[in-house]
Amino acid sequence: MQGIEIVATARALPGRCVTNVELSQTVDTSDQWIRTRTGIGQRYRCEEETTAGMAIEAAKKAVEKSGIDKSEIGIVLVATTTPEYAFPSTACLVQQALGLEEDIMSFDINAACAGFLYGLGIVRSMLQNSRKTYALVIGSEHLSKIINYEDRGSCILFGDGAGAAIAKSSTKTFYHKGFTRGNKEFLYCNGLGSKENDFYIHMEGNQVFRFAVSAIEDGVEGILAEAGLTMNDIDYVVCHQANDRIISHVEKKYKDYSAVFYKNIEFYGNTSAASIPICLDEMGEKGLLKEGMRILMVGFGAGFTWSSCLLTW
């Protein structure tokens, strides 16, 4: 089976930036605690913005940057846990707002923070049988609407935002893996119609932390083994930005390669499905991504799920 490559990325963030100092005025925490325990300095929070609105903005920018003919987009996939509607999907709203053709497939997926990479795996298969050339893969999250701002163990962690990528089939090296260990206990949020009248994130932070460290290690090792490569062959590792200390744990294992781990959690917090495409877009903007580079990505989160992917730029 052919792989995929990414031809353009973009991101969209709410206008409102919330610093640690501001948060510490309403909940019992401090800038110092948040920075040392998570690496986060600020995050963005939606006011008027929405999951669909940010997805649309990021998608429009990605299409513009790519210079492609938008009638060649055959799939719109939005990875999100925070859509405005149970239906229609956020992806349908993106299709309409961008004026995309109607003979295409548009749908949302929920694989929590692994959603964007699950999405790349899904569109890789779908593009093989598509009459059109491109897929729009978007991660968009309005997490602040499901945050309990009285729970200092979770409210400091998350941020809102969106990242979009345009993918096409490619003969360039591409590997993809997925993983699921059904777990509802340590990280969950009730859904529509739930009898429990509580729609906030519930998280046992240290249990999730333990899973996250092993998920990155398994994701990295699994994909390297499948590709027959070593860390020497990798130009960048882009992990889901959940907590700087999670990535640092793994960096210690690969101590000779710590420079390849890209991190931007300081500026955005944990934006779940949006975090990896936001990283890719920022890296592109900084001129870090050059043709032929091998990027290893790992996303992980509620479920428990993880997904890893080796993509050639």
Which residues have a catalytic role annotated?
113, 240, 270
Is residue 301 a contact residue for ligand UT7 (CB under 6 A)?
A: yes
Is residue 133 a contact residue for ligand UT7 (CB under 6 A)?
A: no
Which of 13, 79, 242, 310 lies at the binding interface for ligand UT7 (CB under 6 A)? 242
Which of 91, 104, 113, 223 lies at the binding interface for ligand UT7 (CB under 6 A)? 113
Residue 202 or 294: which CB sits closer to ligand UT7? 202
Burial 187-225 (b: 16+ CB within 10 A, else e): bbbeeeeeeeeeebbbbeeeebbebbbebbebbbebbbe
Burial 260-283 (b: 16+ CB within 10 A, else e): bbbbbbebbbbbbbbbbbbbbbbb
Is residue 208 a contact residue for ligand UT7 (CB under 6 A)?
A: yes
User: Which residue has its beta carbon closest to ligand UT7?
Assistant: 205
Which of 157, 167, 238, 273 lies at the binding interface for ligand UT7 (CB under 6 A)? 157
Of 54-62, 63-71, 168-176, 203-211, which part binds ligand UT7 (CB under 6 A)?
203-211
- The CA-atom distances, in angstroms, between 170 and each of 1, 2, 150, 174 are 10, 6, 47, 8
Which of 82, 130, 243, 307 lies at the binding interface for ligand UT7 (CB under 6 A)? 243
Alpha helices of the chain — where are they, by DSSP H? 20-23, 31-38, 51-66, 90-97, 115-128, 152-155, 205-227, 244-253, 265-268, 275-285
Is residue 216 a contact residue for ligand UT7 (CB under 6 A)?
A: no
Q: Which residues pair with 11 in a beta bridge?
A: 163
Q: List, as own/partner pairs, every contact residues 217-222 make where C-beta atoms lie below 8 angstroms and the sequence separation is at least 24, other chains included.
A: 217/250, 217/253, 218/179, 218/306, 218/308, 219/177, 219/179, 219/298, 219/300, 219/306, 219/307, 219/308, 220/250, 220/254, 220/296, 220/298, 220/308, 222/177, 222/308
Read off the DSSP letter of residue 270: B
Interface characters, 163-202, with ligand UT7 (x: CB under 6 A):
------------------------x---------------
Smallest distance, ligand UT7 to C-beta of residue 28, A: 7
Residue 152 or 253: which CB sits closer to ligand UT7? 152
Radius of gyration of the chain (CA): 18
Is residue 153 a contact residue for ligand UT7 (CB under 6 A)?
A: yes
Is residue 71 a contact residue for ligand UT7 (CB under 6 A)?
A: no
Smallest distance, ligand UT7 to C-beta of residue 302, A: 6
Window 19 to 58, contacts with ligand UT7 (CB under 6 A)? 29, 33-34, 37-38
Is residue 205 a contact residue for ligand UT7 (CB under 6 A)?
A: yes
Structure tokens at 251: 């960096």
Is residue 249 a contact residue for ligand UT7 (CB under 6 A)?
A: no
Q: Which residues bind ligand UT7 (CB under 6 A)?
A: 29, 33-34, 37-38, 113, 152-153, 156-157, 187, 205-206, 208-209, 212, 242-243, 270, 272, 301
